[in-house]
Amino acid sequence: MDTTGILDEALQRLHNSGPERLGRLTNHAPMAVEALAAHGQARSVHRWLDLYARKLEEFPSGVEPVTAANWRFALGDPRRAADWIGYFEREITERPWCEVLTQWWPRLLPGMYGGSTHPVIRVGHAVRTLLASESTEPRLVELAHGLGYWAARHRPVADLAPLPAADSAAAALDAVSPIAERDGGFPARLSRVTGLPVWAATITDPNEAHHCLTELVRAATQRYATHGHGEETMLVHAATAPNAVLRTLPALPHALWVPSLRAAWTASAAVTAMYAPDAPAAYTPPGTFTPDEVFERAQAHGDEHVIKLTDTALDIGDELTLAAALRSIELSEPLR
């Protein structure tokens, strides 16, 4: 992890910006700079931010403070993003961050589909940093921003019909049927997902849940190599959303691991249903590269989703996941 203070500087710089722009597009910068720092690219953080700065908006105005008495009324209201972030900043100042996370994780988990799953991904990056290094003020504030964004964009998904089961995560993703109408943005497409294959539904042991979640992240990442052409940006989230959950598990009580697996599966499968192509396409990487070389290519490319998928691929680290990262570099427009 970054030990130079560059990550903290970048986060302080970013906390003057809102979690979104144009009322719907996510600010990916906190996630991307954390990934850059985590993989030894701290020297490129501020240069990357200078390129990304045009995609940032000022921090939004508040409406009314969120409190222990009124939070249910504010949940899922994107106009209240600043209120929610302020609430979590106060909570994390007054209590240990793991305690706040543990209290709010089961409240927020059913709504991880809001904001195109970006809020939980942002939380996952923040938690990884806090688990791996010192809990500095900017890193604690970053967790508050992630949790606040999640609460503001909270959107549950219910009444999904259980479709025939599959034995493995890869087979279950293959069994996902694409929605018939694939126009519109994430919320419109999500409303058209009516059923998903059953997978890992009988799991009750937390350690088995951890194993299955790892399997899901591997399968979703590898699948991008042959299916990413369906939508090169949005299909990234089929892997990065469950990986954010996986990264957060060590900070949570074991009792929350099984429901976390189930929510992560629903998110990954729903994204697959919304954006997967009708057929896979064969992909051969342009050579053999080490994990460090693949990440250097992603950093040079600069696209925030490429950086985040590559970051997830390196968590797995095998040849097929690295191929998926290389595929994302080929499919995506570089940051200029």
Choose among 298, 193, 209, 194: nearest CA to 246. Answer: 209
Total structural domains in the chain? 2
Q: Is 201 exposed, middle or buried (0-12, 13-18, 19+ CB in 10 A)?
A: exposed
Same domain, 73 and 27: yes
CA angle 87, 93, 94 (to 5 degrees): 95
The answer to whether residue 107 sits within a structural domain is yes
pLDDT digits (tens, 9 = 90+) for 96-141: 999 999 999 999 999 999 999 999 999 999 999 999 988 999 999 9
In the predicted model, what is the mean pLDDT of the chain?
A: 96
- Going by pLDDT thresholds of 50, 70 and 90, the confidence category of residue 336 is confident
Q: What percent of the chain clears pLDDT 70, i.e. is strictly above it?
A: 99
* Residue linked to tokens 């598990």: 249
Q: Model pTM?
A: 0.97
Q: Are residues 13 and 31 in the same domain?
A: yes
pLDDT per residue as tens digits for the range 235-265: 999 999 999 999 999 999 999 999 999 999 9
Q: Which tokens belong to 224? A: 């991008």
- Whether residue 48 is found in the same domain as residue 167: no
Do residues 145 and 188 both lie within one domain? no
CB of 57 closer than 8 Å to CB of 26: no
- Measuring CA to CA, how many Å separate 265 from each of 20, 69, 163? 25, 32, 14
Domain boundary among 131, 152, 173: 152
* Shared domain check, 190 and 125: no
In a domain, residue 118? The reply is: yes
Q: Is 80 exceeded by the pLDDT of residue 1?
A: no
Pull the structure tokens for residue 237. Answer: 């989230």
Instruction: Count CA atoms closer than 13 A to 3's CA, side-chain side.
Output: 2
pLDDT at 158: 85
Range of the domain at 194: 157-336
Interval 203-214: pLDDT, tens: 999 999 999 999
Q: Report yes or no: 308 and 289 within 8 Å, Cβ to Cβ.
A: no
Among 92, 123, 152, which residue terminates a domain?
152
Asked if 80 contacts 61 with a C-beta cutoff of 8 angstroms, the reply is no
pLDDT tens by residue, 282-293: 999 999 999 999
The span from the CA of 291 to the CA of 311, in Å, is 10
1, part of any domain:
no
Tell me, yes or no, whether 47 and 142 share the same domain: yes
What pLDDT, on the 0 to 100 scale, is given for residue 189? Answer: 96
Give the model's confidence band at 4: pLDDT under 50 very low, under 70 low, under 90 confident, else very high. Answer: low
The tally of CA atoms less than 13 A away on the side-chain side of residue 204 is 1
Q: Is residue 234 part of a domain?
A: yes
Find the distance separating the first CA and the last CA of the chain, reported in whole Å: 26
pLDDT digits (tens, 9 = 90+) for 85-99: 999 999 999 999 999
Does residue 176 contact residue 164 with C-beta atoms inside 8 Å? no
* The domain boundary residue, chosen from 103, 123, 152: 152
Q: What is the per-residue pLDDT across 258-268, written as a single tens digit (0 to 9) for each?
A: 999 999 999 99
Same domain? For 182 and 85 the reply is no
State how far the Cα of 35 lies from the Cα of 45, in Å rounded to an integer.
Answer: 10
Task: For residue 307, name the pLDDT band (cuts at 50, 70, 90).
Answer: very high
> What's the pLDDT score for residue 3?
55
Average pLDDT over every residue of 146-172: 96
